[in-house]
Amino acid sequence: MALLEVRDLSIQFGGLKALDGFTLSLDEGEMVGLIGPNGAGKTTVFNLITGVYRPSRGEIRFRGRSLVGLRPNQIVRLGIARTFQNIRLFKGLSVVDNVRAALFSQTGYGLLPALVGGGRTAGEEARVYWRAMEMLRLFELEEVAAEPAGSLPYGAQRRLEMARALASGPRLLLLDEPAAGMNPTEADRLMELIRWVHRHFGVAIVLIEHQMRVVMRLCPRIVVLDFGQVIAQGSPEAVRQDPRVLEAYLGKGVAVT
């Protein structure tokens, strides 16, 4: 059984069909790239999988269970986490509290007991704190744990966002343009980080990325969207040579490197 099965997924906003018949099967531990021009429907796919949108048609199954109609927090508990094209940290909170926020859904009590405190929650709060610190250590952020998240350099904020997403222990990680705004040197470091995350956590990854160099070097399989429809998929080499990709995504006569 595939980890994720997306079949005939479609959604429209008013008269605009943002996604039309999108299908994807993803195995445990697989890494797949999702590319396409601006407005092709890539982030819409992520929003549908994570419950931000409800599809007009189609099915989304994760580990055999339908996700359609579930709330985003329920989907996180099932084992799917994501990052965003525009970093969405709690910038006024400390670095460690950003990760603790992601771990809150795993505690055995509600918000009121957490605020009031006391012996019933003290042990669980300690566990959450040390788990958060362990994630920061893995991402080389332990030394800035007490700093406001918004004060970190851009690359460190990206690492924190990834640490927060992985703190919930997902089986599937959705990365939405993690290299956005990075120069080539920063992008190279990011690629090494993603490879390490994939290997260390054993998590399946779907990667949206506009930097072709990044997605072509990271992903053994690539799916290409244009106007909400899949126009090509396969290995980086196959996608690189597909005339539909060259025309629709890059323009005629342009090679992918």
Domains in the chain with CATH codes: 4-79+170-250 (3.40.50.300)
| String of DSSP letters for the chain | --SEEEEEEEEEETTEEEEEEEEEEE-TT-EEEEE-STTSSHHHHHHHHTTSS--SEEEEEETTEE-TT--HHHHHHHTEEE--SS----TTSBHHHHHHHHHGGGSSS-HHHHHH--HHHHHHHHHHHHHHHHHHHHTT-GGGTTSBGGGS-HHHHHHHHHHHHHHT--SEEEEE-TTTT--HHHHHHHHHHHHHHHHHH--EEEEE-S-HHHHHHH-SEEEEEETTEEEEEE-HHHHHH-HHHIIIII-TT----
Total Cβ atoms within 10 A of residue 244:
12
Report whether 62 contacts 172 (CB < 8 A).
yes
Q: What would you measure as the largest C-alpha separation in the chain, in angstroms?
A: 67
- pLDDT for 113: 58
The tokens for 219 are 């992903």
Q: How many CB atoms lie within 10 A of CB 201?
A: 16
User: What pLDDT score was predicted for residue 171?
Assistant: 97
Model pLDDT, residue 217: 95
Q: Does the pLDDT at position 254 exceed 60?
A: no
In 10 A of CB 192, how many CB atoms?
Answer: 9
pLDDT of residue 116: 57
Single-letter residue type at 69: G
pLDDT of residue 78: 95
What's the CA gap between 84 and 82, in Å, rounded? 7
Nearest-angstrom CA–CA distance, 116 and 118: 7
pLDDT at 123 over 80: no
Mean pLDDT of 177-206: 94
Among 1, 37, 38, 43, residue whose Cα is nearest residue 22: 43
Q: What is the pLDDT of residue 121?
A: 67
Confidence at residue 224, expressed as pLDDT on a 0 to 100 scale: 95
Percent of the chain with pLDDT over 70: 89
Q: Are 90 and 102 in contact (CB under 8 A)?
A: no
Q: Is pLDDT at 93 greater than 80 in this prediction? A: yes
* pLDDT computed for residue 106 by the predictor: 63
Question: How many CB atoms within 10 Å of residue 234?
Answer: 15
Determine the pLDDT at residue 1: 84
Name the pairing type of β-strands 221-226 and 31-35.
parallel
Q: Is the pTM of this model over 0.85?
A: yes
Give the confidence band of 86 by pLDDT, cuts at 50, 70, 90.
confident
Residue 255 has pLDDT above 60, yes or no: no
Percent share of the chain, pLDDT over 90? 73
pLDDT tier at 14, thresholds 50, 70, 90: confident
Q: Which residues pair with 25 in a beta bridge?
A: 5
Give the model's confidence band at 127: pLDDT under 50 very low, under 70 low, under 90 confident, else very high. Answer: confident
What is the pLDDT at residue 114?
56
